[in-house]
């Protein structure tokens, strides 16, 4: 354990940030999986679920959890699959 006061504070803040980041990332992954299963099962409300997943991806990008191009790629692939269902 750190002895310096600032190092102790840094450890605490890092743990707090890690917990928040993990929760945010897990939420994003869950919404993306829900969208993928809705698309695969040709379920109802596909557009709403895909929009929600895109929103979670954008939020993860704004918080620096994933790269913006990775989010764009995932959103593009989901939209492509969802649009193929409607056509």
Q: Specify the pTM.
A: 0.87
Tens digit of each residue's pLDDT (9 = 90 or more) over 9-43: 999 999 999 999 999 999 999 999 999 999 999 87
Tens digit of each residue's pLDDT (9 = 90 or more) over 32-71: 999 999 999 987 889 999 999 999 999 999 999 999 999 9
CB 82 within 8 A of CB 39: yes
Residue 60 Cα distances to 63, 66, 69, 73, angstroms:
5, 6, 12, 14
- Contact partners, residue 82, CB within 8 Å, separation at least 6: 35, 39, 46, 47, 50
Label residue 4 left, alpha or beta by phi (over 0 means left) and psi (-120 to 50 means alpha). beta
Query: Where do runs of H (alpha helix) occur along 1-87?
Result: 5-40, 46-62, 68-86
Domains and CATH numbers, the chain: 5-86 (1.20.58.110)
pLDDT score at 69:
98
């Amino acid at each position: 354990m750190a002895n310096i006061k600032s190092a102790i504070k840094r450890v605490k803040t890092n743990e707090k940030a890690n917990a928040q980041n993990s929760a945010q990332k897990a939420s994003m992954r869950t919404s993306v999986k829900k969208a993928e299963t809705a698309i695969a099962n040709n379920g109802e409300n596909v557009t709403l679920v895909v929009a929600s997943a895109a929103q979670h991806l954008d939020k993860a990008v704004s918080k620096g959890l994933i790269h913006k191009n990775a989010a764009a790629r995932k959103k593009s692939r989901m939209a492509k699959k969802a649009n193929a269902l409607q056509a």
